[in-house]
Chains A and B, each alone.
Chain A
Amino acid sequence: MDLRLGVAGPASDVEKAAVDRVLGMPSGGWDGGRRTPEDGHLSRGGRAARSRRHLLLPVLQAVQDRTGWISPAALDYVCTRLTVPPAEAYGVAAFYALLSTEPAPATVVHVCDDLACRLGDGEKLCAELERRLGPPGESGGREARWVRSPCLGRCEQGSAALLQRSGEPAARVSIAPATVAGVEAALHGGAVRVDTTPPVRSDPAGHRLLRRVGVVDPDSLDSYRAHGGYQLLRRALELGPGGVIGQVKTSRLLGRGGAAFPTGAKWEAVAANPVRPHYFVCNADESEPGTFKDRVLLEADPFGVLEALTVAGYATGSERGYLYLRGEYPEAAGRVRQAISQARQRGLLGEGIMGTDFNFEIELRVGAGAYIAGEETALFNSIEGSRPEPRNKPPFPTQAGLFGKPTGVNNVETLANVLEILRIGGDAFAQLGTPDSTGTRLFCVSGRVERPGLYELEFGVTLRGLLDLAGGVRGGRPLAAVLLGGAAGSFVGPPALDIPLTFEGVRSIGASLGSGVVLVLDDTVDGRDLVRRIARFFRDESCGQCVPCRVGTVRQEELLARLASGNPNGSVAAELDLLGQLGQVMRDASICGLGQTAATAIQSAAALGLLGDPEAGRVRP
């Protein structure tokens, strides 16, 4: 690789220091350091240098955190250190919403205006900020800027923001609930606050995945062990990899990330693959609008997630695990980071775990603002230092995943279930819930409901049952609709209230549980506004790789804008027909699940009549 480097001018000492802090000092002139006499006689680089490409995103984040943007000179230095073509590194940097490739203010506050916050105070907050500070995204030479943000995963609060401040030290802090005063304080360098009390609202007696949430001290491994922590890893080591997989298969656990794939079968496929090494990835890139369950588990029970990931690594013959966490969860990142460090110190990660010959390391990788990076193959590309564009399947991750090797990947909630399976046994677990939906489920309840929050319930509860537990529609208003599964899910109307919230139950009405989102709409909600927000979300978060999604999401948003303004192209019926065709090509021909589901919620809204009535923009009960 003959790269054109060193042409953007020298990086500043500050930029270099930020890079070197992640990569260590350069060895000589070949990788960006001071040229030594020896450098003239031998060349360093090649495959060994390129093999560090996976450090690209962490390094770009370090530069962003230190200086507020990635300058041409800084990018050049990064590329010199890692032997990455500058055009490719720029392509990566320009993909992520939390990275800037142009000079930017040191302080950026991302204010959530996504689904749950729209039903809360988010839109009011944005309107007031716009009145006081000007439109989002315009810095106007000030030290600070505010921008609108997709879901920040604090949906139960009804308003949220994320402070991103560069400098030394840099800061990334959640603000929730977010107020005008809070956002203004953040913009001006003042203190911010976040309510980190776990928003768990279900009866603790029924808790299995949440049993330690709010009980253990999430900063203390001792506290975790005092509550039974790491006993289940010991049990796994006694059972052996095959025994663990057998228990998971017996439990009939289905993945909770949205696709409902049998976890045991996935693990077995990885374990049986003769290609080495194997990897196991915990997908904590929870970004589905309305979802906050994984955040609660990571913030309140980080050791539980690490233990479960370690078990998964053991069962699948992996020696390296990655926990890929979305960049908008700084509090969870802090918890996981220190939990990994404590576990390593105590020999629960590393070599010879618990006196066996099992070696396992976990590395935390933090995202930088991209919903699509939660798609499993896009996630691999993100870790590898490429643009997080999904790969075509097959090959599936169990065949060729991270770094092209057999890889198991599960979402946080799925992994949390594995500990419960080991605790009570696969047979007992299979008795929970219904025959086709075993175990419990975390439901993220938000919107117009009396008690929004996280509910862990055994499968089988109906939508009505869940809403009753949540205190019903706020203020006793009539229920208009519920968005099940998030932006990639579907709206269901009141007739669906008695459907059990199981995989098979929601499938029978053409919906899906997705990531467990239950967003409640009362009769005052402007359904058309919500639907347009969903369309905007997918248009913003599409990676742009394939035509159906890249252009389809644009046309879908334009079409909904025409419907909302009462200016359809031809008749409303013709527009709805076109909307259906857009949905079909996105579902049938997109590469990945984002494109394939980008029209699902909107189609369901159309079917419920939330779009077609030009007279009133209201949800019809």
Chain B
Amino acid sequence: MSLSFVAPPRRLLTITIDGRTVKVPEGATLLEACRQQGLDTPTLCYLENLAPVNVCRVCVVEVEGARVLVPSCSRKAEEGMVVHTDSERVRASRRSVLELLASSVDLSLAGPEVKRWMNRYRAEPERFGPAAPAAEDDRRDRARPGEHHAPEGQVAATVAQPVKLDNETYIRDYSRCILCYKCVEACGSEAQNTFAIAVAGRGFEARISTEFAVGLPDSACVYCGNCIGVCPTGALMFKSEYDLRQKGRWDEARQTVTTTICPYCGVGCNLELHVQDNEIVKVTSPLDHDITRGHLCVKGRFGYQFVQSRNGGDEGR
């Protein structure tokens, strides 16, 4: 998407990126500076409409004089900074981060850019051995902090676990969760202010959870679906999409996207209706839309069944 600065830049800073002298507005992050230069900088936990949490560490760059690499998504440019985005250290770290993630999380729905980065950095997640069998129950939800069974090392531990199906609007497949914190942010102070989910546990057992891992119907969730809107890996997914995928009928090539305005209230949120076989299969909103910034409410996100209702009939109910 296009780069946009909310506040007018006060002055321009001069920094060096990969040998090129460039000018960036004061307050810009290194990621913004890199994108301004057209550099494809991988990001996973970063999203334009959320405050950077700099946890995935795939966007790291090397700043001369710094002891360790810095996350470009949150580090602000400073006058005279000398930045390397493709040094041996940067490539090695990005490669390892992608390998660590891919060896522990199902990234198969994470979008084509992730595969592109995996290829570019020659990530080989299988180096850590074959994946351990998935947990068959909710043991990850009950993990005690600071305790784990010592591994034998022949298989690589993963976060694979059963899908959480507890309501009709969306599913939670935490086998795909890279713990980017985006859903927590969207549920909390960045968008919805509902705070139904947070990170619980610690270490490899850290997980997105409601209190005591209760199901969504027993939680504070209001089904705005803003967590789905920001999830980068398909861990959170419309139930309609999930069902079609389970039946092997999900086919994005056959889908159209129609932009419209939500019919419910007067705010004027833009909706993007994803339609397959003349059925609405999911609803999104553009990240750069002035009003929504990609976020919707339960009605705009899930209240579309009436569209399918013909002849006053029951089909859509």
- Residues of A that sit less than 8 Å from B by CB: 1-4, 7-8, 72, 75, 85-91, 94-97, 100-102, 137, 147-148, 150, 369-370, 372, 387, 392, 394, 532, 536, 539-548, 550-555, 557-562, 565, 567, 569, 578, 581-582, 584-585, 587-591, 596
Contacts and interface: CB of A to CB of B under 8 A. Distances in A.
A552 B75 CA distance: 23
A97 B198 contact: no
A85 B220 contact: yes
B211 A585 contact: no
A87 B209 contact: yes
Contacts of B200: 87, 90-91, 94-95
A7 B219 CA distance: 9
Nearest to A91: B198
Interface string B44-80: 0000000000111110100000001101001100000
Nearest to A586: B96
**Listed residue (A8, A551, A582, A591) with the most chain B CB atoms within 10 angstroms of its CB:** A551
A542 B218 CA distance: 30
Contacts of A561: 150-153
B138 to A, nearest CB: 12
B195 A387 contact: no
5 contacts: A95-B200, A100-B144, A544-B203, A569-B129, A589-B96
Contact of B219 (A4, A541, A553): A4
Interface string B150-181: 11111011000000000000000000001100
Interface string B180-200: 000000001000011111111
Contacts of B104: 551, 554
Contact of A87 (B60, B144, B210): B210
A589 B203 contact: no
Given A555-B100, A591-B54, 4 more contacts: A532-B150, A543-B202, A547-B100, A554-B204
A547 B71 contact: no
A569 B130 CA distance: 10
Contact of A555 (B68, B103, B206): B103
Interface of B: 54-58, 60, 68-69, 71, 74-75, 89, 92-93, 96-97, 100-101, 103-104, 127-129, 142, 144-148, 150-154, 156-157, 178-179, 188, 193-206, 209-212, 214, 218-220
A563 B148 CA distance: 19
A557 B145 contact: no
B68 A589 contact: yes
A588 B203 CA distance: 18
A245 B22 CA distance: 41
Contacts of A596: 68
Contacts of B178: 547
A588 B153 contact: no
Nearest to B58: A547
Contacts of B214: 72
Contacts of B219: 4, 87
Contacts of A95: 145, 200-202
Contacts of B89: 584, 588
**Listed residue (A2, A394, A539, A541) with the most chain B CB atoms within 10 angstroms of its CB:** A539
A392 B60 CA distance: 13
A379 to B, nearest CB: 15
Nearest to A101: B212
A532 B148 CA distance: 13
A591 B211 contact: no
B56 A547 contact: yes
A154 to B, nearest CB: 18
Contact of A97 (B69, B146, B151, B157): B146
Contacts of B156: 555, 558
Judged by DSSP, the binding face of B is loop
A551 B100 CA distance: 6
A567 B145 contact: no
A88 B188 CA distance: 10
A555 B128 contact: yes
Nearest to B71: A392
A90 B207 CA distance: 12
Contact of B97 (A86, A369, A547, A565): A547
A546 B56 contact: yes
A557 B159 CA distance: 16
**Listed residue (B97, B200, B205) with the most chain A CB atoms within 10 angstroms of its CB:** B200
Given A370-B202, A547-B57, A591-B54, A585 B96 contact: yes
Contacts of B56: 546-547
Contacts of A532: 150
Contacts of A372: 202
A560 B150 CA distance: 11
A135 to B, nearest CB: 10
A150 B127 CA distance: 30
A147 B147 contact: yes
A261 B197 CA distance: 38
A149 to B, nearest CB: 8
A101 B293 CA distance: 37
Contact of B146 (A3, A89, A91, A541): A541
A94 B142 CA distance: 9
Nearest to B206: A544
A544 B207 CA distance: 9
A547 B54 contact: no
A567 B96 contact: no
A34 to B, nearest CB: 24
State the 8 A-B residue pairs at the shortest beta-carbon distance, nearest first.
A544-B206, A85-B195, A561-B153, A585-B96, A4-B220, A97-B146, A562-B153, A86-B211
Contacts of A2: 193-194
Contacts of B212: 72, 75, 90, 101
Given A555-B103, A567-B154, A137 B147 contact: yes
Contacts of B100: 547-548, 551-552, 555, 585
B204 A544 contact: yes
Nearest to A149: B146
A591 B55 contact: yes
Nearest to A555: B128
A122 to B, nearest CB: 16
Given A547-B57, A585-B92, A150 B209 contact: no
Nearest to B69: A588
B149 to A, nearest CB: 10
A596 B144 CA distance: 24
A94 B145 contact: yes
A87 B96 contact: no
Given A2-B193, A552-B100, A585-B100, A543 B203 contact: yes
